[in-house]
């Protein structure tokens, strides 16, 4: 999706779409960036899946969410759910 500007805390914030919500208190969010190829000047979509801590198990598959960088919560979780921007239809 798109990157939101860094707040004063210096923590990164991203918008993404939930692709998996099967685990307890964890969701998998797909982050998509559009970058320009350095030589060919063509736009490329870069996708990355990150594990996000969802304390209340609110997010469902297809929801558009905002996540923020945080301290390590587990081996692979370094992100927290801030809010659900748009529910899946």
Which pLDDT does position 9 carry in this prediction?
A: 73
Q: What is the pLDDT of residue 5?
A: 62
pLDDT digits (tens, 9 = 90+) for 48-68: 999 999 999 999 999 999 999
Q: Which domain holds residue 67?
A: 3-86
Q: What are the residue ranges in the chain where pLDDT is below 50?
A: none
What is the per-residue pLDDT for 10? Answer: 83
Instruction: Return the pLDDT at 89.
Output: 86
Residue 4: the pLDDT is: 62
Confidence (pLDDT) at 42: 97
Domain count, the chain: 1
2-to-7, 8, 22, 75 alpha-carbon distances in Å: 15, 19, 25, 26
Query: Any idea what the CATH number is for the domain that residue 67 is in?
Result: 2.40.50.140
Least Cα distance to 20 among 80, 79, 67, 60 occurs for: 60
């Amino acid at each position: 999706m798109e990157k939101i500007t860094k707040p004063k805390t210096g923590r990164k914030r991203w918008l993404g779409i939930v692709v998996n919500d099967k685990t307890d208190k964890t969701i998998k969010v797909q982050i998509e960036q559009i970058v320009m190829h350095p030589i060919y000047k063509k736009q490329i979509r870069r996708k990355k899946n990150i594990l996000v801590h969802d304390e209340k198990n609110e997010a469902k598959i297809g929801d558009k969410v905002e996540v923020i960088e945080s301290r390590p919560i587990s081996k692979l979780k370094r992100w927290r759910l801030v809010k659900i921007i748009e529910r899946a239809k």
